[in-house]
Structure 1
Amino acid sequence: MNCKQATRLLSERMERTLTTKEKLALRLHTSMCSSCRRFGKQMDDIRLLSKSYMHAELKDKE
């Protein structure tokens, strides 16, 4: 797996469940690639911030 494939999967995992094969390949790649690990962390942070924002917006509308 290269970085382009890894970043695609890191993005896709937010919208769908990765296959076992994809998860293993991604785990192997990110264990060796600090750039993709950082990208994955950033994607996780964005997801959490988005959820927090949506929760706050819904709460404000009540």
Structure 2
Amino acid sequence: MMSCHQATQLLSEKLDRPLDTKEKIALGVHTTMCPPCRRFAQQMEELRSISKRYMKDPDVK
């Protein structure tokens, strides 16, 4: 079973590189059973979305 530390590391790496099949499966199993890691994944996606919007138009507040 993957630890939360390993899961958050993979969630972060997922933003920079494609995960291999084994990593995707292990991460999927972990986040299905772990609400805090699921929440972390949602927060990471939201931060990425905010950053993209800012980079597109830095004057938007």
Compute the TM-score of the two structures, normalised by the length of structure 2: 0.92
Give, as a single letter, the amino acid of the residue that structure 2 aligns with 1:30: T
| Structure 1: 5+ residue stretches without partners | none
Residue 36 of structure 1: CA displacement? 0.1
Once residues 14 and 46 of structure 2 are traced to their aligned partners in structure 1, the CA distance between those partners, rounded to angstroms, is: 14
Once residues 25 and 47 of structure 2 are traced to their aligned partners in structure 1, the CA distance between those partners, rounded to angstroms, is: 23
What residue is the counterpart of 2:49 in the other structure?
48
Which whole-Å deviations, capped at 9, do the CAs of 1:32-62 have from their partners, x for residues lacking one?
A: 00000000000000000000000003xx6xx
Give the count of matched residue pairs: 58
Larger Rg over CA atoms: 1
Q: Superposition RMSD on alpha carbons, in Å? A: 0.9
| Structure 2: 5+ residue stretches without partners | none
Alignment of 1:6 with 2:3, yes or no, is no
What residue is the counterpart of 1:37 in the other structure?
38
Structure whose residues are more often helix by fraction: 1
Compute the TM-score of the two structures, normalised by the length of structure 1: 0.90
Over the matched positions of the two proteins, sequence identity in percent amounts to 57
Where in structure 1 do 4 or more consecutive aligned residues deviate above 4 Å?
none
